[in-house]
Amino acid sequence: MLKPEIEDGQASLADPAFRADVLNGLAARPRAIPARWFYDRRGSELFEHITDLPEYYPTRTEAALLDQAAGALAEAVGPGRAVIEFGSGSSMKTPRLLRAVAPAAYVPIDISGEFLRSSAADLSRQFAGLAVHPVEADFMHPVPLPRAVADLPKLGFFPGSTIGNMTPASATDLLRTMRQSLGQGSMLLIGIDRVKDEAVLIPAYADSAGVTAAFNLNLLERINRELGGTIPIDAFEHQAVWNDDASRIEMHLRATRDVAFTVDGRDFSIAASETIHTENSHKYGERGARVLLRAGGWTPVAEWTDPQGWFALILTEA
Ligand code: AVI
């Protein structure tokens, strides 16, 4: 998830895609900036912190499900597969899966080479004898896999309900792309967050320690750092709302007063109460998750959920 960070004052070296998304997003109505830009170094650290928060149930629930499912997973998947993880570095989940399914090889795919190499090195140390083949690539597009795993059956791994950060249409496209990358006869193990009471969902995205607020506001700090922005951060507050029609938590940055600023030399003004939409986190019902997976070309073969039905780990086959 980590994206290269740029030192203070080096606005001209900013990622052109970041600049375009921010300038277009601030000019659009409603204003919106894609959530992928949360993950600079500071944002990635804050996200790690979020996964430990008492209110943020997905990470620990999914980790417990992996432990609980280990025996059944091993049986359903069989030994000697190549595990292909989409987005590397889910530090507490990957070892659980690798212990459970005893793969012949592990292929983490991530867009950030730096993060990819360090998490691959950690896993090589933990699992002596496991062949680890990191691939630096954007898994939103078909990824050619290393020749060393060409003849092995594949198990894709996409934990954390990251699929929920996409609209259902984009999620379907991504699932189809994964199918193309993994090939016929492969399996995919995916974590999907479930629809639940707002009283559980809202605190998970608006925690009492303010870590999610800092994560959201860091996007404005990143804009100031990398795009020479003059956004007064104290004029914005974190907002997490449940959009029932779209079955998703939305994160916004809400202006607490009228505010004017520049980004990359362009002027913007935002009125009090207006928001910048920064993230969607879609939640699926039992059937909705299965419908999504089938639309993406994956047939569910087994499913594990916690006693409260808050999170689902679903094993599928192509
Ligand atoms: C990465 N993704 C699955 C997280 C989620 O729950 O949607 C990102 C996140 N945003 C706020 N808290 C966590």
**Is the shortest distance between the CB of 160 and ligand 1 below 6 Å?**
yes
Concatenating the DSSP letter of every residue in 23-37 gives HHHHHSSSEE--GGG
Mean pLDDT of 166-171: 98
Q: ipTM of the predicted structure?
A: 0.99
Q: Which residue has the tokens 């003004």?
A: 269
Per-residue pLDDT at 9 exceeds 80: no
Mean pLDDT of 96-111: 94
The percent of residues above 90 in pLDDT, for the chain, comes to: 88
Long-range contacts: 75-80, Cβ < 8 Å, 24+?
76/187, 76/301, 76/302, 76/315, 77/101, 77/155, 77/187, 77/189, 77/315, 78/153, 79/103, 79/104, 80/104, 80/152, 80/153
Mean pLDDT of 286-301: 98
Torsion sign across C-alpha atoms 204, 209, 215, 219: positive
pLDDT of residue 89: 60
Mean pLDDT of 146-166: 97
Q: Whose CA is nearest to atom 3 of ligand 1?
A: 162
11 DSSP assignment:
G
pLDDT of residue 90: 56
For residues 277-308, one letter each, b for 16 or more C-beta atoms within 10 angstroms of the residue's C-beta and e for the rest, the string is bbbbbbbbeeebbbebbeebbbebebbbbbee
Mean pLDDT of 293-310: 98
Q: Whose CA is nearest to atom 1 of ligand 1?
A: 162
Is the Cβ–Cβ distance between 227 and 14 less than 8 Å? Answer: yes
Per-residue pLDDT at 7 exceeds 70: no
Per-chain mean pLDDT for the chain: 94
Give SS3 for 132.
strand
Per-residue pLDDT at 1 exceeds 60: no
Per-residue pLDDT at 198 exceeds 70: yes
Per-residue pLDDT at 161 exceeds 50: yes
Over residues 45-65, the pLDDT tens digits come to: 999 999 999 999 999 999 999
Concatenating the DSSP letter of every residue in 240-297 gives EEEETTTTEEEEEEEESS-EEEEETTEEEEE-TT-EEEEEEEE-B-HHHHHHHHHHTT
Is the Cβ–Cβ distance between 189 and 91 less than 8 Å? Answer: no
pLDDT of residue 253: 99
Mean pLDDT of 110-115: 84
Tell me the pTM. 0.94
Cα angle: 59, vertex 160, 55; to 5 degrees: 35
Position in ligand 1 atom list of the atom nearest CA 281: 7
For residues 290 and 240, what is the distance between their CA atoms, to the nearest angstrom? 27
- Chain centroid to CA 249: how far? 14
**Is the shortest distance between the CB of 279 and ligand 1 below 6 Å?**
yes
By C-alpha distance, which of 208, 181, 190 is closest to 304? Answer: 190
Query: Encoding tokens for residue 196?
Result: 């639940």
Per-residue pLDDT at 111 exceeds 90: no
- Chain centroid to CA 110: how far? 11
Is the Cβ–Cβ distance between 214 and 246 less than 8 Å? Answer: no
Mean pLDDT of 292-317: 98
For residues 219 and 39, what is the distance between their CA atoms, to the nearest angstrom? 9
**Is the shortest distance between the CB of 165 and ligand 1 below 6 Å?**
yes
Q: Which residue out of 37, 46, 50, 207 has the highest number of ligand 1 atoms within 8 Å of its CB and is therefore the one to mutate? A: 50
Over residues 222-261, the pLDDT tens digits come to: 999 999 999 999 999 999 999 999 999 999 999 999 999 9
Per-residue pLDDT at 181 exceeds 80: yes
Query: Encoding tokens for residue 56?
Result: 């943020």
Is the Cβ–Cβ distance between 196 and 55 less than 8 Å? Answer: no
Residue 12 pLDDT class (50, 70, 90 cuts) = low
214 DSSP assignment:
H
Is the Cβ–Cβ distance between 257 and 263 less than 8 Å? Answer: no
Peptide bond into 30 cis (omega under 30): yes
Q: Whose CA is nearest to atom 11 of ligand 1?
A: 205
